[in-house]
Amino acid sequence: MFGELLGINNLLENSWFWFGHQGWEYLDLGRFWQILLAIGLVFWLFLLFRSILPAMKSKKDSEITSLFLYAAIAIPLFYLPAFFFNGSTHYSVVDTWRFWIIHLWVEGFFELFVTVMVAIIFYKLGIIRQITALRVVYLDAILYLSGGIVGTAHHWYWIGHSNASIALGAIFSAMEVVPLTLLTLDAWDFIKLSNSDCETCGKKVSVPHKWTFYFLMAVGFWNFVGAGVFGFLINMPIISYFEVGTILTPNHGHAAMMGVFGMLALALAIFAFRQVLNDKAWESIEKYIRVSFWGLNLGLVLMVISNLFPVGVLQLLDVINNGYWHARSPEFLNQNIIRTLEWARLPGDMVFIVIGCLPLVIASLKSYMLLIRQKAN
Ligand code: HEM
Ligand SMILES: [Fe+2]
C-alpha cells in the first residue's frame, strides 16, 4: 500500500509498474508484490497438499480429496494471466486478462472450490454419503465451468472485442444463474436439515454446527439476490452499454462479494471455532456469533436498499436522459437527493460494523483464548 501511495504521487519514476500502482482496478499491486502474492498462493497450495496427502492415499476418500486438490490448484493457476501484460500493453488486451482473473475467480473457480469444500464438510460430518457429495461436485463443476468460462465475455462487451464476444458472453453468463439457483435450493435443504434425519444414520441429527449452516444459508440467499438477481440485472449487453460503471455495478459487487464469499469465509471460520472448542467453551461465544450473523446480513441489506440500489437506478435514468458523461459528473452527484441517499447509507454501514463485525472480532479473540486454556487443562 505504501508503494501504491508513492506510485500514485509519482514518486517512483520508472519503477511505478514494479513497486507502485499498476493502474488497474483489482490488479493494482505493483508487479513485484504481485509475484510475491503468486508465490504465497503456491505456498498455500503446498500447505493444503501436505495436509491432505494422507487422505489422498486412503482408498476410500481418494477421489473426493483429489477433487478438492484440483479445485484448489485452479485458484493459483488462473491467477497467472495477471502476468500476461506489462505497463504498455494495449487496453483491450489488459482488460481481457484482467477479467479473466476477476471473473473466473468469483464466478468459476471460487464457486467450484466452495462446492467441494461444503460437500466435504457435509460428508465428514456424516450428513451425506460420499456418492452424494461426488455427484454434487461433478454436476456443479459441469454447470459452473460451462457457463462461467465463456461467460467471462460479459466483461468484454465494450472493451474492443468482436461481436462474437457480445453474443457468447450474453448467452453463457445468463446460464450462470442456473447453478446459483441450485445452490439456493441447497440452502433450503440446510434449513430442513436442522430438524430431519441424516442420510447415512437414519437418526435425528443434532446440529453442533448450526451457525455454520446459518452462514451457508446466507451464502445461498446472497448468491441468489446479489449474484443471480443483481448480476443478471446488469448482464444484458444493451443494459450494460448504459449501466457499466454506474452505482448498479457496486450494488451487485457488494451483495455478491460480501454476501457470497464474505459469508462463506465466516461459515468456514465458525466451523473451525466450533470444531476446536468443547461444548462449554462454545456456549460462551455462541451469543456473539448469533448477533454477528444478524448484524452482517441486516447491515448488507440496509446498504443495498437505502443507498446502492436506489442511487444506481437514478444514475442509470440519468445516463439514458442526459448521457453517460452527465451521470458521472458533479452536477448529478451533488444533487440533494443523491447526497441524502449517500447519508442514508450510514445506518446500514454502522449496523454492519458495530453489530456485525465487532462481535465477530470478540468471538475470534475469545475462541483463541479459550482454546489456549482448554489445551492447558
Ligand atoms: C458470487 C458471484 C459473483 C461475484 C462475487 C461477483 C462480483 C462482481 C464484481 C465485484 C463486479 C465489479 C467488477 C468491476 O468493478 O468492474 C462484477 C461485475 C459484473 N458482474 Fe458479477 N459477480 C458474481 C456473479 C455474477 C453473475 C452470476 C452475473 C450475471 C449473470 C454477473 C454479472 C456481472 C456483470 C455483467 C458485471 C459488469 C458490470 C459493470 O461493469 O457494469 N456477476 N461482479
Ligand atoms: Fe463476471
Among 209, 218, 211, CA closest to 360? 211
Ligand nearest to the CA of 219: 1
Q: Does 226 share its domain with 280?
A: yes
Q: What is the residue range of 119's domain?
A: 42-196
256 ligand 1 Cβ < 6 A: yes
Give the cell for residue 112: 467450484
What would the pLDDT profile of 15-67 be if each residue is shown by its tens digit?
Answer: 999 999 998 988 899 999 999 999 999 999 999 999 988 888 888 888 888 88
Burial (0-12, 13-18, 19+ Cβ within 10 Å), 195: exposed
Between CA 49 and CA 41 the distance in angstroms is 12
Say how many Å lie between the CA of residue 129 and the centre of ligand 2: 33
Give yes or no for residue 248 having a pLDDT over 90. yes
Ligand 1 atom index nearest CA of 243: 41
Give yes or no for residue 193 having a pLDDT over 80. no
Could you tell me if residue 66 is inside a domain?
A: yes
200 ligand 1 Cβ < 6 A: no
257 ligand 1 Cβ < 6 A: yes
- First-to-last alpha carbon distance for the chain, in angstroms, is 42
Residues 132-149 as b/e (b if ≥16 CB within 10 A, e otherwise) read ebbebbeebbebbbebbb
77 ligand 1 Cβ < 6 A: no
Q: Does 54 share its domain with 164?
A: yes
Give the cell for residue 301: 441489506
pLDDT average, residue stretch 165-192: 79
Q: What is the pTM of this model?
A: 0.88
Closest C-alpha to ligand 1, atom 35: 235
Pocket test for ligand 1, best of 166, 182, 252 (most atoms within 8 A of CB): 252
The torsion angles phi and psi of 30, rounded to 5 degrees, stand at: -60, 155
Could you tell me if residue 290 is inside a domain?
A: yes
Closest C-alpha to ligand 1, atom 17: 253
Closest C-alpha to ligand 1, atom 33: 231
Could you tell me if residue 36 is inside a domain?
A: no
- Which residues, 6+ apart, have CB-to-CB distance to 227 below 8 Å? 107, 176, 180, 252, 255, 256, 259, 260
Could you tell me if residue 15 is inside a domain?
A: no
Among 43, 40, 33, CA closest to 83? 33
What would the pLDDT profile of 283-342 be if each residue is shown by its tens digit?
Answer: 999 999 999 999 999 999 999 999 999 999 999 999 999 999 999 999 999 999 999 999
Domain C-terminal end among 196, 226, 252: 196
Between CA 301 and CA 295 the distance in angstroms is 10
249 ligand 1 Cβ < 6 A: yes
| Residue predicted with more confidence, 301 or 105 | 301
92-106, 164-178, 297-311 — which one is most confidently predicted on average?
Answer: 297-311
Q: What is the pLDDT of residue 213?
A: 85
Could you tell me if residue 18 is inside a domain?
A: no
152 ligand 1 Cβ < 6 A: no
Q: Does 233 share its domain with 360?
A: yes
CB 318 within 8 A of CB 257: no
27 ligand 1 Cβ < 6 A: no
Could you tell me if residue 2 is inside a domain?
A: no
- What's the domain count of the chain? 2
pLDDT average, residue stretch 165-187: 82
Q: Does 153 share its domain with 223?
A: no
What would the pLDDT profile of 331-349 be if each residue is shown by its tens digit?
Answer: 999 999 999 999 999 999 9
- Which residues, 6+ apart, have CB-to-CB distance to 3 below 8 Å? 12, 19, 20, 21, 30, 33
Between CA 153 and CA 165 the distance in angstroms is 6
